[in-house]
Amino acid sequence: MEKGIVALLLAGVLALTGCGRGAPPAAGGAAQDTAAITVITAEEGKGKIDAGGVTVVDVRTAEEYEEGHVPGALLVPNEEIAGTPPELLPDLDAPLLVYCRSGRRSAEAAQKLTDMGYTAVFDMGGIIDWPYETESGAFGS
């Protein structure tokens, strides 16, 4: 009985502090807001790209990017996002669509970017869920 009360109290504390927010939506789920981070599906990301006005940011390594990436994506490796805004992303208010391979690094990068002051960050998760066209080649070539 005592364990049940502790679990209930812990769940209440977590709910009040906002822990657990920002998890990716279930398959086919709708977008979720977490501060300035919005978790979106590949389909929603494609719609934003097609509508224009969003900067697509690949946070994988240069080698992964070269193998295949969303057309027009900028390469800003997650490991290089720290402290100050990346040179390729000078506008803190520009909508950023962030992705990686599976979603872990994109979530980390989205949080780091938001912590730096970016106001419109969309976490699209992983390219493994991207059913659309990709292109290969090194960044900037």
- Active site members: 100
Q: Residues 85, 55: contact at Cβ < 8 Å?
A: no
| DSSP annotation string for 27-95 | TTPPPEEETTEEE--HHHHHHHHHH---EEEE-S-HHHHHH-B-TT-EE--GGG-BSB--TT---TTS-
Residue whose C-alpha is closest to residue 73's, from 92, 36, 48, 93: 48
Residue whose C-alpha is closest to residue 71's, from 39, 113, 99, 37: 99
